[in-house]
A and B are shown apart, each in its own frame.
Chain A
């Protein structure tokens, strides 16, 4: 990243030598990522982060389809950058029917029958589905879900922000969204892919930035960092994913050996590097703290660890236990060379940590 800041300080819009060099670097970064995603460079725009790309992708699809209707169909486990605007727009219009949440099963996979039925509701303008969930790892049946959309002429936004670069790149979509963080790129770079066949337009006058799709210039060093991260990640993707998958399997097995534990999400059809489990009668916040004390950093979807004091909407939508929850997102081995040792430490510490936290709770 230091090299990227050194090389990419100039403004790509300027005509002086430094500006022209910056423009060339931005074009190169775009072409590396576009080639990796299998799309034409002019269809790929940089946004200030993945959630912004989700919001813009959705907004443009919706505006372009405004004569069809305003209804959004989305799985209940989608990113809040999809669900919150969808719910808000329906509430603002005073028409709850404008938001069509589609339930998932206990593994977190969308019900295709319910998906098709939701698309059939009149006024459906746009649909959104993740390639895989970033909390529980479960992959969605994208090809089948997209086919249902195509048959009805409804555009599908695919959110690949959880696994892009780590898992196979989605091929079934009308809009594709990614986040450089999923492939160890810098924060603050989202990817928005709009194939020419897709009808997409933002309200208001067109901008002159990123093909008229964003109104904020990409930060060049971040774009360079994203392209470099992509190149490094894909070079080792298959081997890294195999190793990550095996490490996640050991974490799943270690958690499952602890009584009253729910290992959440599909055990096989999932992202290679994500695992979530919930321990009954344990406090999620205490568990994160207890593991942190032992030098192991994990996340949690439990309500007590969130700023809103609401549990993870993903776990709740799956009917999974939300308390006593921990989540591990394995970094790339090239980023964290001690990854295997860290997982071994977690697996070794987990039974004691859970027992300690459960004992603390019983005393309350």
Chain B
């Protein structure tokens, strides 16, 4: 079951972190209007350009991003700090852990993780004007 405040259902999500809160410390990637796999590609490129540990905030309107950002984070061993619907788009806050060293990222298929619940659509309330 997905606990409240953990909208992706991903165990790597820290529900106490709000994607809008760490704005000052993050890079924002605007992938609104782009279709899959471009939002995840833009996110991966931004993470690769930043020093290790930088958080990147991705804005996307593509419905596939809901599933694919969480899958990308899981496959690359990154951290999904938060997900929030902000009106027309969704904001995803991702911290690069190994993205700056792609050769060190886990390769091949990740072991199936039956304990991981499926990603649910983000369900946090929208705060108007925050986008």
- A311-B67, A319-B116 known; A259+B108 contact, CB < 8 A: yes
Q: Tell me whether A364 and B71 are in contact in the complex, defined as CB-CB below 8 angstroms, given that A106-B114, A256-B109 are known contacts.
A: no
B73-112 residues with Cβ-Cβ distance < 8 A to A are 74-76, 105, 107-110, 112
User: B40 contacts which chain A residues (CB < 8 A)?
Assistant: 280-281, 323
A interface, CB within 8 angstroms of B:
76, 103-107, 114, 255-263, 266-267, 277-278, 280-284, 302-304, 309-311, 315-324, 361-362, 364
Residues of A within 8 A of B72 (CB): 280, 321
Residues of A within 8 A of B10 (CB): 319
A105 & B67 in contact (Cβ 8 Å cutoff): no
In the assembled complex, which residues on chain B have CB atoms less than 8 Å from the CB atom of A106? 112-114, 116, 118
Select A260's contact among B38, B75, B112, beta carbons within 8 Å.
B75
Contact A316 B110 (CB under 8 A): no
B105 neighbours in A (Cβ, 8 Å):
260
- Which of chain B's residues has its CB closest to A357's CB? B37
The binding surface of chain B is classed by DSSP as loop
In the bound complex, CA of A259 to CA of B72 (Å): 13
Write 14 A-B pairs (CB below 8 A) sorted by A numbering.
A103-B118, A106-B112, A106-B118, A256-B108, A260-B107, A261-B108, A263-B109, A309-B35, A318-B118, A320-B71, A322-B64, A322-B68, A322-B71, A362-B41
Minimum CB distance partner of A257 in chain B: B108
**In the complex, what's the smallest C-beta–C-beta distance from B78 to chain A, in angstroms?**
12
From the candidates A103, A105, A302, A364, name the one contacting B36 in the complex (CB within 8 A): A302
Neighbouring A residues of B68 by C-beta, 8 Å: 311, 321-323
Produce 1/0 per residue, B21-33, CB < 8 A to A: 0000000000000
- Is the beta-carbon distance between B63 and A315 smaller than 8 angstroms? no
